Structure 1
Amino acid sequence: MSAPSTENTPVQGGNTANATASAAYDAALQVIAAVEPRVAEATRAELRDQRASLKLIASENYASPAVLLTMGSWFSDKYAEGTVGHRFYAGCQNVDTVEALAAEHARELFGAPYAYAQPHSGIDANLVAFWSILAHRVETPALEKHAVKNVNELSEGDWETLRHELGNQRLLGMSLDAGGHLTHGFRPNISGKMFHQQQYGTDPATGLLDYDAVRAKAKEFRPLVLVAGYSAYPRRVNFAKMREIADEVGATLMVDMAHFAGLVAGKVFTGDEDPVPFAHVTTTTTHKSLRGPRGGLVLAQEEFASSVDRGCPMVLGGPLSHVMAAKAVALAEARQPAFQDYAQQIAGNAKSLAEGFLTRGANLVTSGTDNHIVLLDVSSFGLTGRQAESALLDAGVVTNRNSVPADPNGAWYTSGVRLGTPALTTRGFGHDEFDKVAELIVDVLANTKPGTTKAGGPSKASYVLGDGVADRTKAASAELLDKHPLYPGLELS
C-alpha cells in the first residue's frame, strides 16, 4: 500500500507553484554564480544528491519552496535584539510582524500559552529553557529576598552567592545511550558543565522507560530540572507520569520534543503523550518532523513566560529574522488539515519499516517503534554503527550511526544505526516502499564485512562491501525514488 498522494502538499506543490519556484531558484542561482560560481554549483549538486538518495536520517526532512525562499530575504540584513515592540535597534516593525506571526502560529498549533521564536537552533532553545528555569527558580527568589529588581543592584557578596547557586543546581535527564540528547546533561556538552547532573536510563531487558526507576532516581537525586524527551528512543513517553515525578520532588519539568514535534502538531501524540500541557517549559526545533527551517522554539506555561522572553540578551544575540519569517510560514503550513494526515503516515511508515526489519531477522532496540524512529542494532551483522553507516552511504542510503543501550562501542563507533521516516514520507513513500527499504538495508549489511587495521587486527571503522551490492541497491532505490520525485517540476538550468 502506498502513502496518500502528496501532489498538492507544500513540498511537492502543483504545476503552477513548481513553475514559479523553478523561475525563482534559477534567477537566484544566476545571481549567486555571478559572484561565486562554486557555491551555485554546490547548491545544484545538493539538490541532485538529495533527489537521488534514500534519506533516512531521523532529524532531516524537506522544507517547502515557500519556506526555503522565505529565508533568502533582506530580513537577513536586520538586527533585532530584544522582543516584539521592545527592541534595542530602531526600524524593527517588520521583524515584529514576522516574529509575532511565528509565535502566534506556534501557540495555536501546540495549544501553548506562550511561544518564543528566536532560538537559532535546538541547542539554543534548550539553553534558553535552562537559563529561564534558573532565572525563575533561583535568581528571582534571590532578588525578592534582597528587595532589588535586578542583579546589578546586588552587593558583590550577594552576587557571588547567587552565582554559586546558579552554577550548582541539579539536572536529571535521559542518558545518551538510552536515547537522550547530548544537551540533556551529557558531560562534554555545556548542559553537563553548567549543572550538577545525573542521568536515567531504560530497562536493560526491554529498552523501555521504567517510570518507577525514574521516580526512584529523582527522589534520590532531587533535581531542580527533570528533562524528558529523546533523540533516539523509538517509543512514546507518558508525560503525565513525568510531570507527576517532577511534582513529587519539586522539580521543573522541561521537555525537549525536537524530534517528535511534528507528531504532536499532527495529533499523533495526544492526551498523556502530548508534552505541552504537562511540561513547564517545552523546547523544539522547527525542522525534523515539523518540516520547517533549521531553528528552534520555546513553549512555556505563563509562569515562565517572562523569564523565557529574556532569551535575548540572556543567552541569544541578534535573532535570525529571515529564519523567524520562515518559521511563520512553516508553522502556518503545519496548521493545515493535510499535515495531520502526513504525521499519521510518518508513524505508520515507521511501523512498516520496523516490521520489514523484524521479518528479515534484524534486531531492533525495543523490538519495534511507535513514533518516527527505528533504531537498528547492527552488531548481529558483525558491524559497528560506523561501518554500517559508511557501507549504506556507499549504496545511496543516508543514515546516521547511533548508540544503543549499554553500547560496548561507545558514542563514536556505536553499535546502532538510527533511521527515521519523516523525509521519505514527505516524498510520498508508503508502507510497501518502506518494507522494500528494509529489504535493501538488510541486503547491504549482510554483504558488508569488517575491515582490518594496518596492524592486521579487526577494525571498528573500515569495512568491505561485497561486489555489486552498491550498484544493485542504487538501482532498486532509483525505482522507488522515481515514483516519488522530490520537488517535481522544479527544474534548474
Structure 2
Amino acid sequence: MPTDLSPVDGALSDALAAERSRQRETLSLIASENHASEAVLAAQGSVLTNKYAEGDPGDRYYGGCEHADTVERLARERARELFGADHANVQPHSGTQANLAAYQALLDSGDTILSLSMSHGGHLSHGQPYTMVDEHFEVSHYGVDEATGRLDYDAVEARAEAVDPDLIVSGYSAYPRQVDWERVQTVADAVDAYHVADIAHLTGLLAADVHPSPVGIADLVTGSTHKTIRSGRGGMVLCDEALADAVDTAVMPGCQGGPLMHNVAGKAAGFAEALTPEFELYARQIVDNATALADRLGERGFELVSGGTDVHFVLVDLRETHPDLTGERAEAALESVGLVANKQTVPGDHRSATVGSGLRIGTPAVTTRGFDATATERLADAVADVLDAPDDEAVANEVAETVADLCSRFPVYGDTTAASV
C-alpha cells in the first residue's frame, strides 16, 4: 500500500515530514506527550480508518464489522488485564470525551460536581468555566494547600461537606504527587457522592504498577490512552459490571457516534506493548527520571511545587527565584533551543493560564528515547541554564548544541541505536 503522500498532496507531505524532523531534532518535555511506537502508528494509519462500527462488538448498527469486533475486543481485554477492571470501554475519542461519558452515566443535568481548581492542577474537563461541563452542571472547586503544594484531604472533606456534591473528581493534570484514592472515596462516601478518578496522565504508571490505582476504589475511572502509556490516541472508561451498561450507553449514543476504529486499533497495539516486562522497566524509568530532574533543578536553586515529584513531571514555580520570568516567556526561551515544555499556572498564581508563573516539565517522551537519570541530569542543567539567562545568546547556542547531541545519542523514529551519555 503506498505511503508516500507527495504525489497526491505535496504541501501536506512536506508538513508531515517537517513534523517528523521536528520530533527527531527537539526534546519533548510536555508531560502529556509521548512517542508512540511504529507499530502503534501503523495500527492507527490502517484500513480501519474506512470502517464505521457504531455499537458494541457483536451488536453493531452496520454490517461488515467482524474484524472491527476482533480489534475492539482485543483492546477491551488488554485494558481489563492492564488495569484490573471488570469492564473497559475503549471507544471515547479522548480523555475529555471519557469524562463527559462518566458524568452522563452518573449525573442528571444540574447536579453538582466538586473538582480541583484548574489553577491548582485540575483539568478543563473537570468543569472549568466556559466548558460544556460548566454549562450543564453546577461546579465547585477545591484546592491544594498553597504553602505545601499538596492536597489537604481534611480541607477537601470540609469543602465537600459545604458543597454537598453529587460527584467528586480526583486525578489531575498538574499535581506532581500521588493521590490517596481511598481517602477521596471516603470523602465521597461521607457526602453520598459518586467518585470519578481521572488517570489520564497516569495510565502507563498504573499499568506498570509503579503508582497506586483507583480501579476498584472509585466508582468510575477515566483516562487517556496515549500519554504515559503511549498507545493509540484516545480515551477509555473503566468500571465494574454494575455500571457497564450505563457507561456504554453514555459513550454511544450519549456523547459520540461511531468509534474511531483505527484509534481503537492503536490502543490495542499499545496495550499489548504495555503488557510486556519491558514496559514496566520503562514506566519505572519515567519516574526515576522525573526524580532526577526534580533533584537537579532543586540543586540549581529552582522552586518546585510540593518540593518535588512522585510522578512523571515536575512543576517549576518561577515566582520567587525568577520573578520577572513568566511561564509563557520561559516556554518560548526553551523552545528556541529545542526544549519543548509548557507554561503552567501554579497554586496561588495571579497570572492567567495563557501566561502562568510556572513550567510543567515531563519525562515520558525523553524516557521513550532512552534517557536514564544521567542524561536527565544533563537535560535539567540545560533547562536551568536557559531559565537563568533567557536572553543570553551564548547560553542559547551552547544549550542548543547540548540538545542536538542528546537527540543524536537518543534518537526517535530513525536510527534506533542509542549511545550512553
Structure 2 unaligned residues grouped into runs of 5+: none
Instruction: Give the one of 86, 100, 118 matched to 1:127.
Output: 100
Whether 1:103 and 2:76 are equivalent positions in the alignment is yes
1:73 deviation in Å? Answer: 1.6
1:480 deviation in Å? Answer: 1.8
Residue 15 of structure 2 aligns with which residue?
Answer: 42
Matches within 5 A, 1:371-386: 371-379=311-319, 380-381=321-322, 382-386=324-328
CA contact (8 A) 2:29 2:363 kept: yes
Distance 1:51 1:412 in 2: 27
CA contact (8 A) 1:225 1:251 kept: yes
Whether 1:298 and 2:271 are equivalent positions in the alignment is no
Matches within 5 A, 1:293-332: 293-310=232-249, 311-332=251-272
SS at match of 2:140: strand
**TM-align CA RMSD:** 1.3
Distance 1:37 1:267 in 2: 45
1:90 deviation in Å? Answer: 1.6
% identical aligned pairs: 45
CA contact (8 A) 1:225 1:254 kept: yes
Structure 1 unaligned residues grouped into runs of 5+: 1-23, 135-165, 449-464
Whether 1:358 and 2:298 are equivalent positions in the alignment is yes
SS at match of 2:349: coil
Distance 1:482 1:200 in 2: 44
CA contact (8 A) 1:246 1:253 kept: yes
Matches within 5 A, 1:184-195: 184-195=126-137
Matches within 5 A, 1:94-493: 94-134=67-107, 166-269=108-211, 273-310=212-249, 311-379=251-319, 380-381=321-322, 382-448=324-390, 465-489=391-415
CA contact (8 A) 1:172 1:223 kept: yes
Distance 1:249 1:363 in 2: 36
1:297 deviation in Å? Answer: 0.7
Distance 2:365 2:393 in 1: 29
CA contact (8 A) 1:103 1:116 kept: yes
Distance 2:49 2:344 in 1: 35
Cα distance change of structure 1 residues 407 and 295 upon mapping to structure 2, 3 Å threshold: same
CA contact (8 A) 1:177 1:405 kept: yes
1:489 deviation in Å? Answer: 3.2
Q: What is the letter of the counterpart of residue 298 of structure 1?
A: V
1:487 deviation in Å? Answer: 2.9
1:485 deviation in Å? Answer: 1.2
Distance 2:56 2:345 in 1: 39
Distance 1:262 1:471 in 2: 35
**TM-score between both structures, scaled by the size of structure 2:** 0.96
1:133 deviation in Å? Answer: 1.1
CA contact (8 A) 2:232 2:265 kept: no
1:43 deviation in Å? Answer: 1.5
Q: What is the letter of the counterpart of residue 485 of structure 1?
A: P
Residue 15 of structure 1 aligns with which residue?
Answer: none
Distance 1:71 1:370 in 2: 32
Provide, for residues 347-367 of structure 1, a one-character-per-residue CA deviation record: whole Å limited to 9, x for no partner: 111000001100000111111
Provide, for residues 129-180 of structure 1, a one-character-per-residue CA deviation record: whole Å limited to 9, x for no partner: 110112xxxxxxxxxxxxxxxxxxxxxxxxxxxxxxx221010001111111
Distance 1:438 1:362 in 2: 11
Distance 2:54 2:19 in 1: 33
Q: What is the letter of the counterpart of residue 99 of structure 1?
A: E
Q: What is the letter of the counterpart of residue 333 of structure 2?
A: A
Q: What is the letter of the counterpart of residue 424 of structure 1?
A: V
1:490 deviation in Å? Answer: 7.2
Q: What is the letter of the counterpart of residue 133 of structure 1?
A: L
Distance 1:60 1:240 in 2: 28
CA contact (8 A) 2:92 2:98 kept: yes
SS at match of 1:487: coil
Residue 5 of structure 1 aligns with which residue?
Answer: none
Distance 1:476 1:206 in 2: 34
Q: What is the letter of the counterpart of residue 237 of structure 2?
A: V
CA contact (8 A) 1:396 1:470 kept: no
